[in-house]
Amino acid sequence: MELPKIKILNEYDKRLHMVSKEVTFPLEEKDKKMIEDMIEYLKMSQMDDMIEKYNLRSGWGLSAVQLGVLKRIFVIVDETKEPGVFKNYIVINPKILSHSEEQIYVSEGEGCLSVDRDVEGIVPRYARITVKAQDMDGNPYEIRVREEVSIAFQHEIDHLNGILFVDKIDPKNPFKDSDHMREI
Ligand code: NI
């Protein structure tokens, strides 16, 4: 396997703090290619031999803006219970239709391929959300996601709005309200 040639912007790039634009269809060929590259990159970043070969940091999700493309597109690659088998989510023009009351957070903190440092603190996320979005052909669909996939969706939707997870952590009180939420 060869690593797709993509360059991931880091948190100090101002584009990561800009709001991405709605996507129109049909998708441009270069955007289809970008989506394929993002999926391939994320998959490889979760495979031990590829991590070692290319010195990768593991990631679950990428938004187009992280590649400098200000379009409302993200992908999430989730390894299934069967090792080496991945489920891909391709999410274009997402809107959160509803969410649970319950909030959760990742105990060890969230990570981001654009944030290459340890950040202390937690980000409150909804335990379950229902999202309306479009696929690569522009067909609308609805999806309900929960737990870590729900967190990943919310993290990526934030990217589309120019928000990084680190922006949501209060450095003076990085574990604020954690006792009102469930840790996962
Ligand atoms: Ni991120």
Rounded to the nearest angstrom, the distance between the alpha carbon of 62 and the centre of ligand 1 is 6
pLDDT tens readout for residues 77-124: 999 999 889 999 999 999 999 999 999 999 889 999 999 998 999 999
142 is catalytic: no
Confidence at 60, pLDDT banded by 50, 70, 90:
very high
- Which residue's entry shows tokens 């067909």? 139
**Beta bridge partner(s), residue 95:** 132
Rounded to the nearest angstrom, the distance between the alpha carbon of 100 and the centre of ligand 1 is 22
All structural domains of the chain, each given as residue ranges with its CATH number in brackets, are: 14-183 (3.90.45.10)
pLDDT at 5: 95
Mean pLDDT of all residues in 15-36:
98
Burial of 166 (0-12, 13-18, 19+ CB in 10 A): middle
Rounded to the nearest angstrom, the distance between the alpha carbon of 37 and the centre of ligand 1 is 16
List the catalytic residue out of 28, 101, 120, 156.
156
Rounded to the nearest angstrom, the distance between the alpha carbon of 115 and the centre of ligand 1 is 7
**Beta bridge partner(s), residue 88:** 77
pLDDT at 184: 93
pLDDT tens readout for residues 145-176: 999 999 999 999 999 999 999 999 988 999 88
Question: What pTM was estimated for this model as a whole?
Answer: 0.96
Take residue 121 and report the two structure tokens written for it.
């603190």
